[in-house]
Structure 1
């Protein structure tokens, strides 16, 4: 079981590593096929391993990542199938959070490049919203609804998007949600696409207020929130609030410099360049663009086109028309080759802006044929993502080109459309509303300045008070330092005196320490000698007992068979049992106690050799690791010797087979149970009670010596059971 568990843990670690490797390739900038192929490989390996170990959690995670990879490649059906397998699993299990999360991720990953997929994207996100609402998960429900509203922009269904975003904003305001600025930014986009400049400015201003109070938790927050500042700058430029537009364009550029996205970097560069030129700072704009392209090189043709048109705009504003023409033509050539803005809605408005700048340049230089050429090249797709202000500028440009080319009827039509759009943007009522917004913004700014000025005055007062306090503290500090210095001199004298006294004490302590060390060494030497002597005593006792045993053996061999020989043999065995104890003592490092498991094994082996019962009698030893003090070990050894010898002599007559069991255990903290049993013929209780044999009397006497209790039980053989007390320091 342990090996299986460890193997499963190892497999899940491998799966996690493969998923991470796949994500590293998936999230690389751009859509390089090699990167996506590598991501597919790692996700596929992780999925195979997940299926092999039957991990439902990792199977579904791998399916989601594999599906994300397919959708990144615009392989919509394959990607959706992966997500659907995970969705079906969660639906069968009734796992609503898991199902809602998977619907949300599917909707999030569906591309917006194909407008036909926008309804499906929105449906997935709205379904996730309903699932989250059903379980009371408000945070994820609102996040899903906001994402669904974003998808509706690409349908386009601006009214539905606005209603959903207003619902999200109201809920966020009710709970004081910190990141409401993202919702205001989407509402700003809706107002921009609807051509409602007043609402667009209002939402941009609300977004800025939220941003000003937001706390940047990490680098990503700085990048994203800085990007929103740049978006506010674009709105203020649309409303001809040039100073404010420039302020927020600078904030957007500051954040773009730390982003990893080259599109974001060069997009914010282009926006700040346009605002600088509009504020009559063309030279500063040129220096800025040249510095920006030295700081980072473009990674796509579209970014090179942005650089070229930005430089062309700067040179045009500076009157360097030849340089401007070269840059505009370079940008036009790149746009004709890299047609991303015609395929990806995210680039549509930027592509139109660049073509419009190029066309207006040739209109300015009276090269009407070229201007007409670029008027015809203006992209006509994704017009629902182009704001009303830019559509109005395109109509004005086409009107001027048609007029210059003699197409007066078409020129009047374009101009009428321009007037209608411009009136919608800057009608009298909207102009008044914008002025009111500007005035409100100015008043808010003035109030903030007044509060800031009052705060500065209070700060100056506090600084003055602080300086006076510091001067007083300085005087007090000088006085205190003088007193402290005198005290320090006194303290040093006392410390030096204590130091001298301590040195004398230390010398005395060192002498005592040396004396104690010498005595300890003497004691250790004496202790070692004592141990050697004890070892020698036990050795000699064992040798003497061996000599006695040899004498008894000689006596036994010279005597005639009979009771005398049996008595000598039994005495010899008892002496050998004691000799084994002394042998154990001098062979170990512990001269005060005997470990019973090893001793019993030696005793049984000795008795087996003495009686030679052969294989017919089996010994079963169950000895716990009990150590006995020598005062208890000697009686216990003799009891064992008597009990086992009696079993070998009397329990199995003839060739009768059997088993002799020896059991020693600690039954409580201070008591030990010793038990010798056999499955032999046994003997009558009356014989035991009336027995005058020396062996039984010896056992009872030994039991009495160690303050124990004995039982001799007859039944299915004979059992000798002894329960005796030991001191706490005997056993381990």
Structure 2
């Protein structure tokens, strides 16, 4: 059976985001939304055909080259890079023929970007350096600034980032002297990328905030990338509320600007990572899928690989191991075609997935390669840091604890240098597990306190509330935008109808003028005026009614939101009280010597936990009225596995449909499930015998649900239909079945099967 356990290092998805951001900036061509592309190419060709002066032809050639370059990373336009190269060469030759140095410089800048696209950083740097020299000679500060930024991009991620940062700051200084505020803001965003790559998050945050002020002062609306990266920096600084706020603002801006470029894929990916950090795995999977639908249209191998590996990770977290392995197998077929960065991403994810599903032969292959990559200190692959969590997880699960501790120490040094609180929390949790395994209990307690301290600094109840409010605000604004679009569409249709009606009235009026007398003409005018007054009065009445309805709707919406928050708070407090009861029972059991009494208390703890888990799911759900039984049952089974320490002796097979139950039905179902599984674990198998417990939860038809708990153990003596339910557990099962008005069946078929069928309250 595949493991239902969440990975111990939940923040794996965030480990590579900063390095990847810099990698993307330095290795991919910029993408803009392709608005009016037909107009661009038509204008360029028209300019070539009608240009009377060489400078006009050069301008048209460069415009066509830039256009073909801007679409070349789209899969459907992958050959456009050849067209861009053709126009760049023609513009360069013509500029040289007339000794037009500015044209030669612009051709060098375009050629540099083309070489970056083709992966030839050496020639890209050479072309950018030639442009720097030409524009310096011409003393064109704006063009010099663009040339320095081109040189930064041509250097790539394997060059010294500090040198690239110095070049970027030089470009920013030139823009301040001669450029627009929008150009200054663009330069600050690129500088922030580089500082993020150096781990200087506070400085990057300052630059991004300054860039947003410049964008706002210049009325520039394309600010989504700056907001997205600001969200990333806040996440790295542990400020998850601010991270989510800026990420949602980035999504709001890109949707407002109808941006479907590769930048939109990056932004959705960053937002998904933020949700994953906050524990909302289902929502993060939605945004990863959204990012991938956009990214797969572009020739961005590393971005596509990263998003796919993120999707795989969320499937593991959602206990959908089969889907995770299927996606992984598809990626593995492409591994020989991947560059170093994409290969590193795949190795990290494959190692984690195969470790989680206990496929250790496959995991060992990737584990050995990952450790070789990390151990090569001279390796230029800056993404290798993301391999540490997967290596550590693999070594711990395969029992190589000493080796795992060595890699934890290396990973800790890197995280302390970067001041990454989230990583340090997970590292101290890993050290707590290692110390516990090796019976170093004092050290384990110290490590656990450290991870709790980091956890408390990262999360709080207040932060959770603020984050929830941000999500509600975002969803509300999104719905308002949709309603506004619909209202505008309706107004347009009404306006068209009124225009058509007006045209018909005019036609009839002109037709009747020749036959009607002057008296009839003025009578018609009088009638029209009277109709207008009546219509005007009616409209005013309708507007007043509309305002009243809108006011009532606003009040009702506010009351609904308040009700949902109060209901969630009730479930939260009930969960906390049940946790207190469990803790009291646990303390009491430590002072009891009678094993029968201790076992009874343990069973009571399990029953209380099943109710506590249910209330937790209720206050975490969006409507606080129903529970996703698929998630609830999997977590309850995982808890019982851990409580009874079944290890690999007793396996579980789960076949659970996505069904929502209200609290009135979910509580007895959870308790029946707890009693049934507990009964099978305790009585179905001997001390050493291995066994299988199968659990299904499914619709029989539209109105009824069947839950089956079946083991392959010893069963019960006699005919189950004559069983008198003497034990407490079976009495409870019968009692809770009665609460559900359910049909209860016990069967002896190669073990005991407990089946309940009940009507679904929808």
Normalising by the residue count of structure 1, what TM-score does the alignment of the two structures yield?
Answer: 0.48
Q: Which has the higher contact order (CA 8 A, sep 6+)?
A: 2
Normalising by the residue count of structure 2, what TM-score does the alignment of the two structures yield?
Answer: 0.47
Higher-Rg structure is 1
